[in-house]
Structure formats: C-alpha cells, structure tokens
A = this chain, B = another copy of it.
Amino acid sequence: MRLPELETPRLVLEAGRMEANVARLKARLAALGVRLRPHVKTCKSFEVARLLMEAPTGPITVSTLKEAEQFLEHGVTDILYAVGIAPGKLDHVRALRDRGADLAIVVDSVEAAQAVAARGEGIPALIEIDCDGHRAGVKPGDAILADIAKALARGAQPRGVMTHAGGSYDCRSTGAIAALAERERAAVVESAAVLRAAGFDSPVVSVGSTPTATFAANLEGVTEVRAGVFVFHDLVMAGLGVCAVDDIALSVLATVIGHQREKGWIVTDAGWMAMSRDRGTGRQAVDQGYGLVCDEAGRVIGDLVVSDANQEHGIVSRRDAGPLDVSRYPVGTRLRILPNHACATGAQHDAYHVVRGGPEVLARWPRFGGW
C-alpha cells in the first residue's frame, strides 16, 4: 500500500521523525539522570509505546483505565494512572492489579485517600501537587500532605508525589518554560520533604509535561518524568519553541474536493472530525487554524492553513486570507495537514499509517480510544 492509494482522511505517522523525537528526549533525561515514564495517552498504541519504554514491562503513564487494560494485555505492568481516582473506579483498579499490574493511582484529598484506604488492598498512590494553579492537586509543601499520607497508610500505600506543569502550554518563551520546569521540580521536591519529615518514604517524585521536560535544566530530587506529546510533537509545541515544524511526525492525509475560487478557498475532505476541534494555536503568536498544510510528501507548502472546518470539510486558505491561485490544487490533489494537538487529532482515528520519508505505507498500527 502507498499513500496515494489510501482513502482519505487518514492518519499518517513519519517513523523517522518519531524516532528522532524519542531519541532526543531520552538523551536529555539520561543526561539529567531521571527515568522516563512515557505518557501513552498521546499514542494509545502498543507499537508506538514500545519505542518509548525502558523495558517490555514499562514503565508507562496512562490517562484512563482502558489504557491500563490495553497495555497490560501487551505485558506492560508498571503503570501509573495519572488522573485523580474516582471511587467508582476502584473495583476496576483491583481487577487490573489482580491480573498482575503494579498499577498506582493518584489522590489529592483526605477524602479520596480515605476511600482508597478503606478497601484495605494496599493500592499504591501518589499525592498530586498543584505546581502552577492550572488543575488538580494540593499546594506544594502544604501540611495536608501528611494528613493525606496518613489516611492512605491505613489500607493503601503512599508512594510519593506527582505534578504536571500543564501551564507550560501557555508559556510565552522557552525561558518561561525553563522557569516553570524549575517550579515544577521544586514543588514536588518540597512536597516529598514534607512527607519524609512526617515519616513517609517518598520513593516516587514525578513531574512531567513535554515543554518542561524539554527545557528543564536540573531535575535533582526528581525520580521520573512523564511526557507524552514529544513522541509526535505538534503545532502547539512548535509554537512554544519546543520543536521545529519539521519534527512533527503526525499528519492527516486529505484530498481536495472543490474550490471557491473568488475566495481563495480549497475545500478538502479533512474537517474537524479528522483534525479534532482543537484550536490550541489560536492562543499563540501564529494561529495555524485547524492545521498547517503540506504536500503529499509532507513538505510544508508555505502559509496555507485549514482556516475553517465543518464536520467533514476543511477550508484551506492563506493564513492572511490573501488571494490564492487555487487551480494549482485541482480536485483530487492530496495534501497532508499537521495538527495543532497530537493527542486530540490522534484520538479521532483508529490507526496510524506508518511511512518513512516516502510514499510506501510500511505498517498500519491500530490505536484505541474510550474508557
């Protein structure tokens, strides 16, 4: 099978770019002396994840128990479910642990810790720290950390602390990302110290976001980094300066289905269902619409973006909405669209079509979704 034979829209994965992205982050983290616990919420594919993991058993980070389940079926056992646990999921957690997963969970309150401990199953749990005010977690170094650990110790297993510097997606410079990386590190190191002072080992001190992993200068006291988007990268990462546009390994293959000549519009069959509704670059200096347009070989065409989208229609035009000779892109022309957000775009598809700098589709790697 070759790209020109694929019915569109389809998700294309450039293996060489992915491998370079993975090697780059692994080298960084090795130099900083920390383990990578890759977040497989981005790829949701065993074929991709095995390029990221240290060993066939992991470690990995997941965002859903479905991911834990799917990877356990492939022999991955060292798993962190990095979303605060809902008590109603604890039966599922137990079932996965009974099947051999060393599945750890996350809490950020005494009430959640009590719900986990009440089961008396010794479930390992990390306490989530809020390093940048963007989501869940307790304040770094807060005295409540010891209360949560005590509550956990009554029937679960306090294993340490974790945080996610999601605010790094809104940084305005790589210097700001580096500063946030240090804040992220300090937040968990300080919190682990509170736990240790209260008599709780904190063997896991976990941080992670692709931007902070890329620009952290020092990860002293941190035991592992969770990152996911780095495997593919995307336009949001390029806009942050975390990668180059030419590092982006994921694209959506599309076909031109028509034009609005006077408007300078090329209409394609890759709408928001294929690209996702993610408009992450809308907040950045360069707004890439629903995606940046490449030719079928993956070369960026210039300033063509998917400026608007319906469910199954993409409107391609110049970023500045200026005139465009659409006759250069006749009906049937194949394009590839780089996505704003690899996690969101990937989730709209059921498989990766793997290429290596040419038109041959070397493999079709399935991916899953759901919960």
Contacts and interface: CB of A to CB of B under 8 A. Distances in A.
A87 B277 contact: no
A267 B135 contact: yes
A111 interface: yes
A136 interface: yes
A26 B274 CA distance: 31
Interface in A85-112: 85-89, 92, 108-109, 111-112
A84 B257 contact: yes
A14 interface: no
A278 B112 CA distance: 31
A255 B86 contact: yes
Given A63-B311, A109-B259, 7 more contacts: A9-B371, A10-B371, A111-B331, A112-B258, A130-B260, A276-B276, A277-B277
Interface in A265-296: 267, 269, 272-274, 276-279
A330 interface: yes
Given A135-B267, A135-B310, A277-B279, A109 B371 contact: no
A83 interface: yes
A57 interface: no
A75 interface: no
- In this complex, which of A10, A89, A310, A350 has the most chain B Cβ atoms within 10 angstroms of its Cβ? A310
Interface in A1-57: 4, 7-10, 41
B350 A87 contact: no
A313 to B, nearest CB: 6
Q: Determine the main DSSP class of A at the interface with B.
A: loop
Contacts of A92: 7
Contact of A86 (B8, B65, B109): B8
15 contacts: A7-B92, A8-B89, A9-B371, A63-B312, A64-B312, A86-B256, A86-B257, A109-B331, A112-B258, A115-B332, A135-B310, A136-B257, A166-B310, A277-B277, A311-B343
Interface in A285-330: 310-313, 315, 330
A258 B109 contact: yes
Given A85-B257, A272-B344, A7 B332 contact: no
A181 B155 CA distance: 63
A7 B257 contact: no
A135 B263 CA distance: 11
A349 B86 CA distance: 19
A49 B45 CA distance: 32
A88 to B, nearest CB: 6
A108 B258 CA distance: 7
B332 A88 contact: yes
Contacts of A255: 86-89
B312 A86 contact: no
A207 B251 CA distance: 33
A342 to B, nearest CB: 11
Contacts of A350: 369-370
